Amino acid sequence: MTTATGFDAIVGQDAPIRLLKTFIRNGTHPHALLFTGDGGVGKKTTATAFAMACNCLTLQSSLRNRPPFDAIDACGACASCKKIADHHHPDVIHVAPTSAVIRIARIRELLKTLALKPNEARRRVVIISEAQAMNPEAGNALLKVLEEPPDRTLLILTAAQPMDLLPTVVSRCRHIRFAPLGEEAICQVLSREKEVDAKVLAALAGLCGGSIARARARIEGSWLSRRDWIVGVLTDLISHSGTPDFRTWLALSERLAAKKDRLEDSLEIITMWLRDILVTGCDPQRVLNRDRMETLAAAAEKAKPAALIEQIDAVEEARTALRANTNTRLTLDAMVLRMARTCSL
C-alpha cells in the first residue's frame, strides 16, 4: 500500500483502523458509522480510506485468499482507488457544512441520490463531515436513510462528540472513537508533509492539543513567531517590578487588536504562557511551551501565583466577552489594565 489516502497514511488511530479492517475482512459492514474525536485527528481521512478499501478492485479480489491483516488496505492504483483519491468517484459522496450549517435542502438532495442505485461502486459511501452542523430538520430527514439504509450504501458521519448530534441519529450508527494524537504521531505526519525544523515541529506538536489540523494551520500561519513575539513582550511586562508600565501594556492591547483575525490565537497564546509559568514551578512535565523551558523557569522565579491566576481570569473573561461581540479595543484595554494592576499585588 503506497497511496497517501489509504489506512497506511493514518497515524495514531490503530484501534479504529483495526475495527474497520475487521469489517472488510469479514464482509460485515454496518450501514452507518459515527466517527467522533477532536478536529484533525484523522476522521475524514479514515472515512475516505475505508471507502477506498471497500471498493478497491485489487483488495476485493485478494480477500478470498484471506490476506494478512496488515495487507487489508486499498491498492491506490486501480481505477476505483484513483477516482476516490481524486474525489471523482460518483458513488463516494461528501457532505460538509456550508456557512457552518448542513441544511435540510442538502440532505433532501442526498436522499434523492440515494433513492437511485449506486452507479458503479461495490459499496456507495456517503461521508457527512461535521455532522453536528445538521440543523434538527436536516438530522430528522437523515433518520429516514439511517432507519432504512439503501442497498449497498454506507453512511459515515463525523463529529467532535456524540452529544452534539440528535440521540436518534447516534443510536442508529456504530460509534467509533478517535483518540487525540500523541506528539510523536503528529511529528511523524508533519515531517512527512513538509520540511520543518525538528525543534519547531516538536514545539508545535506539544502545543496543538493532539490535532494535526491545528498543527498544520500553525505552521502555515507562522503561529510560532507570533507566540515568540507575544511571550517576549508579556514576560518583560509581568517581570517588571514597581509601578506597572501601563503605556507598554496598552501598546500590547493595540497590537493585539490590530490583528483581529488572529486575536483568538493570540489570547490563547497568552493563557497558555501564563499557565505554563504557573505549572513550571510545580510540575514541569505538564508544560506546553516545552521549547521555552529556560524563559519559563526564569519567569516562574519572579512571578506570583495569585497574580498569574488573576491574569488568566482577565484573559479568559476577555475571550468570552469578545465571542459575544463586545468592542475589541475596549475589551482588550480593560484586560491588559487588569493584568497590569495584578503585577503590583
Cell digits of residue 307: 497574580
Task: CB nearer to Zn ion: give 55 or 280.
Answer: 55
Task: CB nearer to Zn ion: give 74 or 224.
Answer: 74
Site size toward Zn ion, by CB under 5 A: 6
Q: Please report whether residue 256 would count as binding Zn ion according to CB under 5 A.
A: no
**Which residues have CB under 8 Å from 275's CB, separation 6+?**
288, 312
As a whole number of angstroms, the distance between CA 156 and CA 131 comes to 9
Near Zn ion by CB under 5 A: residue from 9, 47, 75, 204: 75
Q: How far is the CB of 5 from Zn ion (least distance, A)?
A: 11
Near Zn ion by CB under 5 A: residue from 1, 41, 81, 252: 81
Is residue 58 a contact partner of residue 75, using CB atoms and an 8 Å limit?
A: yes
Q: How far is the CB of 7 from Zn ion (least distance, A)?
A: 12
Q: Please report whether residue 56 would count as binding Zn ion according to CB under 5 A.
A: yes
Is residue 96 a contact partner of residue 130, using CB atoms and an 8 Å limit?
A: yes
Q: How far is the CB of 155 from Zn ion (least distance, A)?
A: 22
Task: CB nearer to Zn ion: give 32 or 78.
Answer: 78
Residue with cell 452507518: 32
As a whole number of angstroms, the distance between CA 87 and CA 113 comes to 17
**Torsion region of 65: left, alpha or beta (phi above 0 gives left; psi -120 to 50 gives alpha):** alpha
Task: CB nearer to Zn ion: give 23 or 273.
Answer: 23
Contact stretch for Zn ion (CB under 5 A) within 28-36, 71-79, 226-234, 255-263 = 71-79
SS3 178: coil
Q: How far is the CB of 28 from Zn ion (least distance, A)?
A: 21
SS3 36: strand
| Contacts with Zn ion, residue ranges (CB under 5 A) | 56, 58, 74-75, 78, 81
